[in-house]
């Protein structure tokens, strides 16, 4: 919090605020379904004409898949600030963040300190960072206690699972049952390649998530980064009938048609916007998708708001 | 003027492409205010005989040469490439090439490739090289085509100082001599931005600082990619307007003699 306020008090922050206002209009352009304006003739600091050209966004823009930096990274603090600055520029109001361990499988101490750092991030960037509690399901009772603590006491909004276990392994089930009890979503790392991914032997894919969704129809599952490098057409088709799985549009891939196919196959109500640190890719592919303004609003934040609204007291 | 140096027409073997005809690509360009695009045949990436793709491309772009600038795909290990090169330039009016050394299974340092590059340079053709076609993690079960290692590009630009290269669909140049200041390499290559970051690590900003804005070019990868992420990079890039104009189209116009 203090860091943000310090930044906002600095002369540079005025430029940033003005730029943010400009780029909220970019989001407005996204939400308005209008073609992205040509950057021709628009210099930094000369943005007002663009800002005034589009409708203002009606709802929040929420990045459903973001990460704060692990503190072993020397530049973690500056890099966290850069993430918020990038969100400012792109008109992203809130980022749902987890902090991941640099090595997997995560140890108990490893994910515990990550969650402390995410809680610290929420304090440093009030109103901007929402927290996912990251656990390794293999720690059983300790993992469940961690989730209860961070969702109950620290206001985290969901659970982040990575690749320690495939999501259909029984060790994951108590986590899913707790998520249902608490009414929070699980963002699950996922990808599907047509070869064995040696460094992620327990990688979850859309088919696994569909199976988990059938077992737990009340669970709110989010399939991470459909544009994260795997065969997104396979993933989208695998999840067609898994109605309690939302698809996170994040990832570095910007394949033309990916968001459009996802909307056509699973329905726009099941798409949630994310970047996973690929910022312009994340926003740009929603800009480019052939969706109505109303549907873009749902993807950019409305659908995530709906998931977060199901949290139980 | 906005010029996209990284666009394609036709079909790709492993995924349906939209906006892949001249008419539909031009409509997309109009909607994004992109004035001109350098296009090559997506089909030629996997055709055994890439000249068939060049013929399709020449026909498809014939009526739109004011906006679509065709580049030919040549495989220097395929019979008759010298004839193809001649036909592409003299009959089709093509002014540049796209090379796929990994997809066509040859080395950039092989004698055949050197000979082809020398021949193209003699004809004042620009040579563009996609570092990748698509993310290898989504590859078909039929093949495994790696990205071109940047070390191979370093040797290439050193070996052909009089040739002009445009590097497409790459990133992490700043981790290679290609993107470093005072790298001792000839300034005979430009870097296209579709996979570069404009925020967070901001590789585009680093390349402008290290190499100069004259060496960065706008490109989208459409219709493989949505063009919007690349447009957004230009919009959020923190550099002055003259630099942005160079990247947007001036550099490409100069290299392509438009």
Question: Which CATH number do you get for residue A288?
Answer: 3.20.20.140
CA-wise closest residue to B256 among B156, B98, B131, B127: B127
Residue A2: is its pLDDT beyond 60?
no
> Does B42 contact A at CB distance below 8 Å?
no
Residues 6+ apart with CB under 8 A from A211: A168
DSSP-derived secondary structure letter, B35: -
- Concatenate the DSSP letters of all residues of A59-90 into one string: S--EEEEEEEPPTTSTTHHHHHHHHHHHHHHH
Q: Give the pLDDT score at A16.
A: 34
Q: Give the pLDDT score at A101.
A: 97
> Does B86 contact A at CB distance below 8 Å?
no
Give CA–CA dist A156/A159, Å, rounded.
Answer: 8
Q: Is the residue at A136 inside a domain?
A: yes
Taking a C-beta distance cutoff of 8 angstroms, is the pair A209, A188 a contact?
A: yes
> Would you call A36 and B19 a contact, using CB atoms and an 8 Å cutoff?
no
Across the interface, of B2, B225, B240, the residue whose CB is closest to A38 is B2
Taking a C-beta distance cutoff of 8 angstroms, is the pair B179, B207 a contact?
A: yes
pLDDT class for A313, splitting at 50, 70, 90? confident
User: Average pLDDT for residues B45-52, to the nearest whole number?
Assistant: 98
> Would you call A229 and B17 a contact, using CB atoms and an 8 Å cutoff?
no
Chain A residue numbers with beta carbons less than 8 Å from the beta carbon of B144 are 195
Question: How large is the greatest C-alpha to C-alpha distance in chain A, in angstroms?
Answer: 58
What is the model's pTM? 0.91
- This complex has an ipTM of 0.96
> Would you call A285 and B230 a contact, using CB atoms and an 8 Å cutoff?
no
Residue range(s) defining the domain that contains residue A166: 58-308
Taking a C-beta distance cutoff of 8 angstroms, is the pair A61, A300 a contact?
A: yes
Helix (H, G, I), strand (E, B) or coil at B6: strand
Report the residue of A91, A255, A273, A299 to disrupt the B interface, i.e. the one with the largest count of B CBs within 10 Å.
Answer: A255
Q: Give the pLDDT score at A104.
A: 93
Looking at domain B3-256, its CATH class is alpha beta
Give CA–CA dist A247/A268, Å, rounded.
Answer: 10
Helix (H) or strand (E) holding B86: helix B81-86
Residue-wise pLDDT for A69-87, tens only, equals 999 999 999 999 999 999 9
Q: In what order do the strands lie in the sheet with B68-70?
A: B3-9, B36-41, B68-70
* Residue with more model confidence, A23 or B28: B28
pLDDT class for A59, splitting at 50, 70, 90? confident
Q: Domain boundaries in chain B?
A: 3-256
B252: left (phi over 0), alpha (psi -120 to 50) or beta: alpha
Domain total for chain A?
A: 1
Q: Is the residue at A87 inside a domain?
A: yes
Residue-wise pLDDT for B77-86, tens only, equals 999 999 999 9
Straight-line distance from the first to the last Cα atom of chain B, in angstroms, rounded to the nearest whole number: 11
Q: Give the pLDDT score at A58.
A: 67
Query: What percent of chain A is predicted at pLDDT more than 90?
Result: 81
User: Average pLDDT for residues B145-167, to the nearest whole number?
Assistant: 98
Across the interface, of A280, A287, A288, the residue whose CB is closest to B199 is A280
Q: Give the pLDDT score at B148.
A: 98
Residue B141: is its pLDDT beyond 50?
yes
CA-wise closest residue to B229 among A253, A274, A87, A85: A253
């Amino acid at each position: 919090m203090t860091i943000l306020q310090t930044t906002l008090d600095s002369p540079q922050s005025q430029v940033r605020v003005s730029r943010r206002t400009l780029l909220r209009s970019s989001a407005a352009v996204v939400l308005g379904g209008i073609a992205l304006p040509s950057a021709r003739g628009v210099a930094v600091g000369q943005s007002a004409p663009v800002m005034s050209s589009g409708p203002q966004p009606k709802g929040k823009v929420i990045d459903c898949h973001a990460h704060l930096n692990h503190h072993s990274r020397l530049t973690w603090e500056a890099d966290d600030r850069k993430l918020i600055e990038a969100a400012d520029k792109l008109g992203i109001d809130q980022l749902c963040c987890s902090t991941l361990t640099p090595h997997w499988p995560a140890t108990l101490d490893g994910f515990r300190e990550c969650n402390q750092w995410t809680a610290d991030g929420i304090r440093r960037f009030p109103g901007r960072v929402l927290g996912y509690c990251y656990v390794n399901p293999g720690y059983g009772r300790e993992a469940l206690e961690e989730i209860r603590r961070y969702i109950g006491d620290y206001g985290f909004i969901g659970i982040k699972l990575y690749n320690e276990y495939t999501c259909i392994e029984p060790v994951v089930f108590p986590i899913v049952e707790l998520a249902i009890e608490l009414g929070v979503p699980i963002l699950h790392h996922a990808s599907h390649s047509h070869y064995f991914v040696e460094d992620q032997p327990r990688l979850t894919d859309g088919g696994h998530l569909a199976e988990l969704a059938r077992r737990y129809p009340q669970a709110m599952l989010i399939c991470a980064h459909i544009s994260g490098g795997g065969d997104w057409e396979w993933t989208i088709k695998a999840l067609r009938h898994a109605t309690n799985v939302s698809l996170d549009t994040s990832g570095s891939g910007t394949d033309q048609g990916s968001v459009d196919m996802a909307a056509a196959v699973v329905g726009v109500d099941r798409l949630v916007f994310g970047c996973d640190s690929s910022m312009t890719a994340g926003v740009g592919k929603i800009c480019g998708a052939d969706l109505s303004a109303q549907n873009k609003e749902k993807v950019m934040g409305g659908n995530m708001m709906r998931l977060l609204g199901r949290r139980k007291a | 003027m906005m010029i996209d140096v990284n666009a394609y027409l036709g079909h790709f073997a492993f995924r349906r492409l939209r906006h892949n005809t001249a008419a539909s690509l031009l409509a997309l360009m109009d909607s994004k205010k992109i004035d001109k695009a350098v296009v090559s045949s997506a089909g030629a990436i996997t055709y055994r005989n890439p000249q068939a793709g060049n013929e399709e491309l020449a026909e498809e772009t014939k009526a739109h040469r004011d906006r679509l600038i065709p580049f030919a795909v040549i495989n220097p290990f395929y019979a008759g490439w010298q004839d193809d090169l001649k036909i592409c330039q003299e009959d089709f009016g093509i002014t540049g090439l796209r090379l796929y050394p990994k997809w066509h299974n040859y080395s950039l340092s092989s004698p055949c490739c050197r000979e082809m590059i020398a021949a193209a340079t003699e004809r004042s053709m620009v040579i563009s090289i996609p570092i990748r076609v698509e993310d290898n993690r989504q590859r078909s079960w039929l093949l495994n085509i790696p990205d071109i290692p940047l070390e191979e590009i370093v040797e290439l630009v050193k070996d052909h100082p009089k040739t002009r290269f445009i590097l497409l669909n790459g990133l992490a140049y700043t981790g290679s001599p290609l993107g470093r200041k005072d790298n001792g390499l000839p300034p005979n290559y430009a870097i296209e931005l579709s996979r570069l970051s404009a925020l967070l690590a901001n590789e585009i900003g680093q390349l402008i600082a290290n190499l100069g804005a004259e060496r960065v070019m706008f490109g989208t990868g459409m219709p493989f990619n949505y063009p919007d992420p690349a447009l957004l990079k230009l919009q959020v890039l923190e550099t002055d307007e003259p630099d942005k104009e160079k990247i947007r189209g001036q550099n490409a116009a100069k290299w392509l003699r438009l």
